[in-house]
Chains A and B, each alone.
Chain A
Amino acid sequence: MLPKLRALILAASALLLCLAPAAHAQDSALQDLLQTHAEEVADPGRRSVGALMDDLAASDLPGVARFLERWADKKVYLNKEDGRFYYGETEDGSFALRDIASDEPVGTAPAAAMEEIRPNGGVRRVISGALVEFQLSDPDRAARVDALDSISRRPTADQLGPLRESIEGEPDPALKARKERLANLMTARFGADTETRVAAIERLSGAVDLETRAGLSRILSAESGVAPDLPADANIARELEVGDDLTEADAYARLVGADLAAPLVTNADIRDALAANIEDGAVGGVPVAELSDPEARTRAYAALAEAGTVPPLVTPEEQAQAARAHVFYEVYDEPNPAVTDAASAALSEVEARVARHQVLDLGLDAVSLASIYFLAAIGLAITFGVMGVINMAHGEFIMMGAYTGYVVQQVIPNYTASLIVALPLAFLVAFAAGVALERLVIRHLYHRPLETLLATFGISIALQQLAKNIFGTQARPLTAPSWLDGAWVMNDVVGIANIRIAIFVLALIFLALLLFILKRTRLGLEVRAVTQNPGMAGSMGIDPGRINMMTFGLGSGIAGVAGVAIGLYAQVTSEMGSAYIVQSFMTVVVGGVGNVWGTLAGATLIGGLQKGIEWFNPSNTLAAQTYMILFIILFIQVRPKGIVALKGRAAGD
């Protein structure tokens, strides 16, 4: 058929489809197409279906994939009365029919009128190949992803051709890359000759994704084996040395598993055997009372073994000898050594790249953790630097900010709007609380830093309990707006949640803001003056009391903002502040007091360190924190004044 003409017919039938009432919906383009090949559809032969397949493929009609699937599953019927094709299901001797294009029910027909269409095996293979092709070029992206997933799960050799053919027309670049990778992986497994396979494997060595890694490891899957001599014809992955690669006990266990040695007699076996063979208060001539001695037990058991009642003990010497007499090895399932060599080279290259990307990912994690620590600690650092005061209630200001966010969210249901309101409000609430604390308590305790520490601790426990009394002990959610929900993903290894990016940006904003306040404003000038010499600053007309109040308020306010930020990804509880307070102290101590850059350096170091330790020991965050604190204690040995230390007379001792 001429393409032009076909297009005309299709356009016409599409028009018909739109105009025709529902009852005539069955006059569809697909039905028409099938009718033009009615013979081949009803009685398909492997040779004859080619033209039909080509037409179907070229038609771009929506129901084609479904038709192919059901055709292969023998669910397509010919209604001998009207000569049309239907999907059918038996229902009490009659058939429930569905339209071939729309899959809508179109009534029933007596069983006698229906003829089941049974494609043979050869045809079904052709169909399934075509089916894969259809799915792989389905206009719906999700359908294509599904098809790829199913191929990736259970790849077969005959999918390779359609997969290759679908690559060309793939509009989505990400999917195209995935198809290419998958094609390479499948070529590596099912390729016709060694050269093609090795070439495909080599093309894979540039990837980092999980699929490739899994595919390569699948090629390299190996079984462990044991034999008196190394099998000559097998593709040996490696030989295992007893003592280095596996323990003597494991080696012997493998021998037992391969029926190459007698099972071990365990201590429990000995005990059970002895217990089962007590005769007149003795076993094998040894009195039962003496059997608490392991040697006596061995003697008694040896006597039983002598008598043939129990299997003899396998001595450690015998075990070692048995292990020496055999070789332990791992053998690849893949028989072709060229392929396994190429695959293991490619895999190690991929893994090296994955490791580099993991470092990058770890770096991103560390930066985001550092941002959180920076936000949590900078307020503390300011108050400590300017006033020499450690504020143990700092964590509770973080909590206050988080609860402010929670309350705002109860009032303003729109998450974006509530966040915009919550951030400044949390700052104001914590600012006010900080100023109140400074005026009421800390002002009276200057030059008594240890007492300030304790008094603010009193505030801290009171505030924590107060929060518990007001909001209850259960965690309160602070929901992030949906635009913060996703994640920025570079590949299967590197990715970061949007919310962490937002916190990073927030930390940058506050870093810039603080630097601006401290370096460019009158307040900053006065703050620096008071930091360096409060007496002199006072005599120059700066009111140190006011500066202290403002600084304390500023530090506390930032803690409030940090509270909102932390609350967005962790839960809001009355104890959330105490979870951050020690880390914040560490940040300040490590970074060096009274310096924004110092806090930044401290936060970076602590964040990086914590992530680094977690990477070495990912299952155990408790241990990571333990080691981190130990590191900090040692770090203080090297730099007692922190990373960014003031030197000379100004630093004091």
Chain B
Amino acid sequence: MRELVRSNPSIPWFLGILAAFCLGVTFLAEATGTGALSTSFVKTLGRTLCLCLVAIAMDVVWGYCGILSLGHMAFFGLGGYAIGMWLMYARTELIVAESLANAPIPPTPQEVEDAIASQIFGVVGASDFPAIWAFADSFVLQMAMVVLVPGLLALVFGWLAFRSRVTGVYLSILTQAMTLALSLYLFQNDSGLRGNNGLSGLQNLPGLGAVPQSVVSIAFFWASALALAAGYLAFAWAVSGKMGSVVRGIRDNEARVRFLGYHVESFKLFVFTLTAIVSGLAGALYYPQAGIINPAEIAPIASIYLAVWVAIGGRGRLYGAAIGAALVSLLSSWFTGGGAPDIDLGFYEIQWTDWWLVLLGVSFVAVTLYAPKGIGGLVDLIAERRRPARTGDLGPDTSALRKTEAAE
């Protein structure tokens, strides 16, 4: 542990700031403190922590392993769908049981299931459970799906892609295609997941109807924070040792690692699948706080935004990804939610709901051009002032520049 901290000085900082933030939110929340923060804002913060977690996963796969995956938000969404299926099933089951309780004849299990099915699938004109809902009645099995579905998809897709040595922008495009295919599939009404209606009412936890949302929100906030802390520690541990060395080697010169005797494809597959699973878990925490999930959440654009967060925050450093995700997603909701004051230029009034995306796009280009280290680069500036001649990872920007013979 001490060694881990020594190789990753950011761990105590990150965990400390996260803990302080959690305590602060707890003291200001409605259920546990003064109530200065509304329940919906606590939910926004909790969701942001989940986004930080998926951003860290993205950083590992992109910043460390060099795979610009445009599919991790799809894994995130799949995790959300998996948990959403249980939430929706269990809650509808309660509602159905209540409404059937007054029937003259007690319902058979089949009747209960039919009633749940027609309740859930009425919007897409179906009344039978598709096969993929087979485990929806069991929380444990559906939690297993949260891990298994993104994990298996990443495993199969990654195996196919890495095996055929697809790299670089090709791989990015291929992951984007996978994401697009998945979202298009889910948009269909007969996909078994309610088409573009998606799954809704996820904020209502089955059996906890009496618990106010303010309490639920703070509980989810803490769960998200714990998941983020655990994810940060796990990834920091994974990338600090020899694994990190090999993975960064793959990023900088894949062929050279191969000639050292490492089976590069297995490592990529390992990182891709592991991060996909973490993304799925993050999604499973996110969507109960969002309340609704639909296929638009899985569209390629979401995964591209994820890459944007990580790039703005700074690649190749886990805290950078978390900072980027938190900052950009919160700013985004501030600007688009009408929180930012409009600017009157006299001849034209800049309304941020219209211009935020333009600002984001341009500033993203600026970051890529002039600050490739992102916000995390600021930390380096401070650290360098305190400790000159520090050695460490040059980051992907510098080392990716080297043209090497083995890569030819």
Question: What is the interface of chain A, defined by CB distance below 8 A to chain B?
Answer: 267, 271, 274-275, 278, 283, 288-289, 291-294, 297, 384, 390, 441, 444-445, 447-451, 453-455, 457-466, 468-469, 578, 582, 585-586, 589, 620, 622-623, 625-626, 629-630, 632-634, 636-637, 640, 649, 652-653
- Residue from A278, A283, A294, A453 with most neighbouring chain B CB atoms (10 Å): A453
Residues of chain B contacted by A652 (CB below 8 angstroms): 408
0 or 1 for each of B300-342: is its CB under 8 Å from A? (1 = yes): 1100100110010000000000000000000000000000000
- Is B214's CB within 8 Å of the partner chain A? no
Are B401 and A453 in contact, with the CB atoms below 8 A?
no
**A271 to B68, alpha carbons, bound, how many Å?**
58
**A466 to B356, alpha carbons, bound, how many Å?**
10
- Residue from B105, B307, B308 with most neighbouring chain A CB atoms (10 Å): B105
Residues of chain B contacted by A445 (CB below 8 angstroms): 368-369
Q: Which 8 A-B pairs have the closest CB atoms?
A: A462-B361, A458-B364, A465-B357, A629-B181, A292-B106, A275-B104, A458-B365, A461-B361
- Is B160's CB within 8 Å of the partner chain A? yes
**A492 to B176, alpha carbons, bound, how many Å?**
40
What are 27 A-to-B residue pairs whose CB atoms are below 8 Å? A271-B105, A271-B111, A275-B103, A291-B105, A297-B105, A445-B369, A447-B403, A448-B401, A449-B168, A453-B172, A454-B364, A455-B368, A457-B308, A458-B361, A458-B362, A459-B365, A461-B360, A585-B173, A620-B188, A623-B184, A625-B181, A626-B184, A629-B178, A633-B174, A633-B177, A636-B160, A636-B170
Are B308 and A458 in contact, with the CB atoms below 8 A?
yes
**A267 to B109, alpha carbons, bound, how many Å?**
12
Residues of chain A contacted by B174 (CB below 8 angstroms): 589, 633, 636
Residues of chain B contacted by A294 (CB below 8 angstroms): 108, 110
Beyond A292-B107, A455-B364, is A622–B177 a contact (Cβ under 8 Å)? Answer: no
- Residue from A461, A620, A649 with most neighbouring chain B CB atoms (10 Å): A461
**A275 to B106, alpha carbons, bound, how many Å?**
10
Beyond A288-B106, A293-B108, A453-B169, is A448–B355 a contact (Cβ under 8 Å)? Answer: no
Are A622 and B364 in contact, with the CB atoms below 8 A?
no
**A336 to B368, alpha carbons, bound, how many Å?**
80
Question: What is the interface of chain B, defined by CB distance below 8 A to chain A?
Answer: 66, 68, 103-111, 157, 160-161, 163-166, 168-170, 172-174, 176-178, 180-182, 184-185, 187-188, 255, 300-301, 304, 307-308, 311, 354-358, 360-365, 368-369, 372, 397, 400-401, 403, 407-408
Beyond A585-B176, A620-B188, A633-B177, is A458–B108 a contact (Cβ under 8 Å)? Answer: no
Residues of chain B contacted by A620 (CB below 8 angstroms): 188
**A454 to B356, alpha carbons, bound, how many Å?**
18
**A556 to B229, alpha carbons, bound, how many Å?**
46
- Residue from A267, A464, A626 with most neighbouring chain B CB atoms (10 Å): A626
Residue of B nearest to A465 (CB): B357
Min CB–CB distance B95 → chain A (angstroms): 18
Partner of B184, one of A292, A625, A632: A625
**A459 to B358, alpha carbons, bound, how many Å?**
8
Min CB–CB distance A536 → chain B (angstroms): 14
Residues of chain A contacted by B106 (CB below 8 angstroms): 288-289, 291-292
Min CB–CB distance B101 → chain A (angstroms): 11
Are A454 and B307 in contact, with the CB atoms below 8 A?
yes
Beyond A589-B170, A622-B188, is A454–B176 a contact (Cβ under 8 Å)? Answer: no
Are A454 and B177 in contact, with the CB atoms below 8 A?
no
**A626 to B360, alpha carbons, bound, how many Å?**
31
Are B163 and A454 in contact, with the CB atoms below 8 A?
no
- Dominant secondary structure of chain A at its interface with chain B: helix
**A458 to B367, alpha carbons, bound, how many Å?**
10
**A460 to B301, alpha carbons, bound, how many Å?**
11
Partner of A390, one of B173, B181, B311: B173
Residue of A nearest to B307 (CB): A454
Min CB–CB distance A229 → chain B (angstroms): 38
Min CB–CB distance B313 → chain A (angstroms): 13
Min CB–CB distance A266 → chain B (angstroms): 12
**A440 to B300, alpha carbons, bound, how many Å?**
26
Min CB–CB distance B197 → chain A (angstroms): 15
Residues of chain B contacted by A453 (CB below 8 angstroms): 68, 169, 172
Are A637 and B163 in contact, with the CB atoms below 8 A?
yes
Are B177 and A632 in contact, with the CB atoms below 8 A?
yes
- Residue from B163, B169, B300, B354 with most neighbouring chain A CB atoms (10 Å): B169
Residues of chain A contacted by B104 (CB below 8 angstroms): 274-275, 278, 288
Residues of chain A contacted by B301 (CB below 8 angstroms): 578
Beyond A458-B365, A629-B177, is A622–B160 a contact (Cβ under 8 Å)? Answer: no
Min CB–CB distance A279 → chain B (angstroms): 12
Partner of A450, one of B68, B300, B354: B68
Beyond A271-B105, A453-B68, A462-B358, is A582–B368 a contact (Cβ under 8 Å)? Answer: no
**A288 to B106, alpha carbons, bound, how many Å?**
7
Are A586 and B403 in contact, with the CB atoms below 8 A?
no
Are A636 and B164 in contact, with the CB atoms below 8 A?
yes
Are A653 and B255 in contact, with the CB atoms below 8 A?
yes
Are A275 and B105 in contact, with the CB atoms below 8 A?
yes
Min CB–CB distance A472 → chain B (angstroms): 11
Residues of chain B contacted by A633 (CB below 8 angstroms): 157, 160-161, 174, 177-178
**A625 to B109, alpha carbons, bound, how many Å?**
39
Min CB–CB distance B364 → chain A (angstroms): 4
Are B407 and A653 in contact, with the CB atoms below 8 A?
yes
Are A629 and B164 in contact, with the CB atoms below 8 A?
no
Residues of chain A contacted by B365 (CB below 8 angstroms): 441, 455, 458-459, 462
Using A458-B365, A626-B184 as known contacts, list a sample of 6 further A-B pairs with CB atoms less than 8 Å apart, ordered by residue number in A.
A271-B105, A278-B105, A458-B308, A632-B177, A637-B160, A637-B163
Are A465 and B177 in contact, with the CB atoms below 8 A?
no
- Residue from B177, B178, B400 with most neighbouring chain A CB atoms (10 Å): B177
Min CB–CB distance A441 → chain B (angstroms): 6
**A348 to B298, alpha carbons, bound, how many Å?**
46
Residues of chain B contacted by A449 (CB below 8 angstroms): 168-169
**A278 to B188, alpha carbons, bound, how many Å?**
45
Beyond A294-B110, A462-B361, A633-B178, is A623–B105 a contact (Cβ under 8 Å)? Answer: no
Min CB–CB distance A519 → chain B (angstroms): 27
Min CB–CB distance A39 → chain B (angstroms): 69
Partner of A451, one of B108, B109, B185, B372: B372
Are A469 and B355 in contact, with the CB atoms below 8 A?
yes
Residue of A nearest to B67 (CB): A450
Residues of chain B contacted by A459 (CB below 8 angstroms): 361, 365
Min CB–CB distance A438 → chain B (angstroms): 13
Partner of A454, one of B103, B188, B308, B400: B308
**A460 to B401, alpha carbons, bound, how many Å?**
25
Are B169 and A390 in contact, with the CB atoms below 8 A?
yes
Min CB–CB distance A509 → chain B (angstroms): 28
Min CB–CB distance B92 → chain A (angstroms): 18
- Residue from A271, A274, A634 with most neighbouring chain B CB atoms (10 Å): A271
**A630 to B182, alpha carbons, bound, how many Å?**
10
Are A460 and B169 in contact, with the CB atoms below 8 A?
no
Partner of B369, one of A444, A469, A585, A649: A444
**A292 to B111, alpha carbons, bound, how many Å?**
9
Are A457 and B355 in contact, with the CB atoms below 8 A?
no
Are B166 and A636 in contact, with the CB atoms below 8 A?
yes
**A468 to B356, alpha carbons, bound, how many Å?**
12
**A460 to B362, alpha carbons, bound, how many Å?**
10
Are B358 and A466 in contact, with the CB atoms below 8 A?
yes
Partner of B108, one of A289, A292, A463, A586: A292
Are B105 and A441 in contact, with the CB atoms below 8 A?
no
Residue of A nearest to B295 (CB): A622
**A393 to B105, alpha carbons, bound, how many Å?**
63
Residues of chain A contacted by B108 (CB below 8 angstroms): 267, 292-294, 297
Min CB–CB distance B160 → chain A (angstroms): 6
Min CB–CB distance B350 → chain A (angstroms): 10
Residues of chain B contacted by A441 (CB below 8 angstroms): 365, 369
Min CB–CB distance B314 → chain A (angstroms): 13
Min CB–CB distance B100 → chain A (angstroms): 10
Residue of A nearest to B114 (CB): A267
Min CB–CB distance B286 → chain A (angstroms): 22
